[in-house]
Structure 1
């Protein structure tokens, strides 16, 4: 099949150019190589396709029928390949990225919002997912996860700095309850749990104690499945919440929230954009990658 396709393209070029010499010049090969290719095609088909004389080159009836059959298909293939090349060179098309809520809000959107303004033909799908989704199977162009959570066969580039976690509470709540002195004290205090939609479990609160990580499963009246909901519930005084510190920078500055247990706060690795191949899939994807790349 591969040989037939190559020979058919050569045959059509001879017909279009009207001579073996011109077809050879266009292909950057010799006249004898083109002539041999067409002869090989005729031998496989067991049909004569061209009438050759020293002065002219005409199609036989079989040759005319073959041109009518294959020329539209070959043109469609050529057009399709040109469109793919344009996709590679022109910033356009849809880019789908899987990430958790915090990464979309704090890392992706601030960097990609200007891209959408500058490249109106780029369409962006940011899909919230806390699981380690199979981006190839789910037809994502890329995923975003913290360093250390990415499969080794993926290409990964850093897109953010490290982020520190914090236990937050409203000033009103701390008028009702004493601030915890150590992480274990949280077990006796009202806490707002975050339930990961793709896991079904409450997110554990992780602390650094004597250079070791310790997980605590807190309890409370309220469970939410969005990190922004947890922040709002904390602002409303429904309990302590465990969130990335940068998410509540403004509320901390305004003294609407305070942090506790800072000495035990853990710092997670930064986020990485990961994808399946080093091959640049499109100009649009290249622009997205460049915009997200973390520069210290």
Structure 2
């Protein structure tokens, strides 16, 4: 196989994975027009149409899907072989592509990533922040960070953040006007501030647990928003009850500015986990990033 043919196959794989000439070009560090020219040449040599193109999208044809299934194991094997050579280097190098969501970007990556970059000048990190669930293999990512309960069981998961708890809180002034709820079902008679999920468009359910049984409530209220700080501001002003992260309101509760209710119904759940597919060898750059982000708390 000539070198140009291998380059064209790599280009095809990138386009088929990204479903976009523009994104594939950015990933490969070349222009979209050069990528398009390479694909026309590859299809002409093979005598088969590999990509279905429209003005808005690009996707593999049936022949393209078959070629992609054949290419993926071979390219993965090559990538693993190249990654294993990096073990001979004194310092990690290469690129790590990571998908995460807003909360983890703010609480995990913002505090720790800058120091990692300074300590590892030969490692490049590309981060895509997406509050939806992402298939890291399909998306071409090396790893992802999500809450532990959403990580697939066949992934290797590493704890990078503490376990978390959601709590229901309101101001003392609010409880002067409304009786405290004794059970989650009582929330239906309260004014609650609700958060709309940006990914699905649905309202975030208020999740509780009691006696080993899950209880989901969708209370009503005057305000619905997809902005977390606006939810917090409304709750702290006394406009309604809020369903919030315990650590985000701990100081307010300790100072008496907010009052926690339904504590017996609010369970702890797994916090942020960095996850990646099982491999014989984890690339040194990814291994170094995992070590930097790992949560060593109990």
Structure 2 gaps, min length 5: 3-80
User: Is 1:284 equivalent to 2:297 in the alignment?
Assistant: no
SS of the residue corresponding to residue 149 of structure 2 reads coil
Shift of 1:288: 1.3
Aligned to 1:54: none
1:183 shift after superposition:
1.1
In 1, Cα distance between equivalents of 2:141 and 2:293: 16
CA shift for structure 1 position 142: 1.5
The equivalent of 2:148 in structure 1 is 147
Q: Residue 235 of structure 1 aligns with which residue?
A: 236
2:262 is aligned to 261
- Alpha-carbon distance in 2 for matches of 1:211, 1:163: 18
Match of 2:102 in 1: 101
1:203 Cα deviation after fit: 1.1
* Unpaired runs of at least 5, structure 1: 3-80
Q: Does structure 2 conserve the Cα–Cα contact (< 8 Å) formed by 1:167 and 1:243?
A: yes
Pairwise CA RMSD: 3.0
Task: Name the structure 1 match of 2:199.
Answer: 198
Q: Do the aligned partners of 1:88 and 1:282 also contact (CA within 8 Å) in 2?
A: no
* Per-residue Cα deviation, 1:55-82 (whole angstroms, up to 9, x for no partner): xxxxxxxxxxxxxxxxxxxxxxxxxx99
SS at match of 2:200: coil
Change (3 A) 1:88 1:186: farther
SS at match of 1:148: helix
Corresponding position of 2:209:
208
SS of residue paired to 2:220: coil
Shift, 1:267, TM fit: 1.5
Shift in Å at residue 83 of structure 1? Answer: 10
CA distance in 2, matches of 1:242, 1:104: 21
Q: Distance in 1 between matches of 2:87 and 2:233?
A: 43
1:88–1:280: 8 Å Cα contact kept in structure 2? no
Kindly state the Cα deviation for residue 281 of structure 1 after the two structures are TM-superposed. 5.9
Residue 250 of structure 2 corresponds to residue 249 of structure 1? yes
TM-score by length of 2: 0.62
Distance 1:124 1:169, change over 3 A: farther
Q: State the 1:236 CA deviation.
A: 2.6
| CA positional deviation for 1:201 | 0.9
Q: Distance in 2 between matches of 1:106 and 1:225?
A: 19
**Structure 1 residues 83 and 188: alpha-carbon distance in aligned structure 2, compared to 1, 3 A threshold:** closer
Partner in structure 2 of residue 136 of structure 1 = 137
| Preserved contact between residue 194 and residue 224 of structure 2 (Cα < 8 Å) | yes
The CA distance in 1 between the partners of 2:289 and 2:205, in whole Å, is 32
Separation in 2, partners of 1:224, 1:94 = 37
Residue number in structure 2 paired with 1:180: 181
How many equivalent residue pairs?
218
* Partners of 2:282 and 2:252 in 1: CA distance: 41
1:264–1:84 distance in 2 versus 1, CA, 3 Å: closer
Compared with structure 1, are the counterparts of its residues 87 and 134 closer, same or farther at alpha carbon in structure 2 (3 Å cutoff)?
farther
Write the distance in 2 (CA, Å) between the matches of 1:126 and 1:251: 33
C-alpha deviation, 1:199, in angstroms: 1.4
C-alpha change, 1:88 and 1:281, in structure 2 (3 Å) is farther
Q: For 2:167 and 2:176, locate their aligned partners in 1 and report how far apart those are by CA, in whole Å.
A: 19
- Bigger mean CA deviation after superposition, 81-90 or 251-260: 81-90
Deviation track 1:212-232 (CA, whole Å, cap 9, x = no partner) reads 110001111212224343223
How far did residue 289 of structure 1 move?
0.5
What is the TM-score normalised by the length of structure 1? 0.63
Structure 1 residue 198: Cα displacement: 1.2
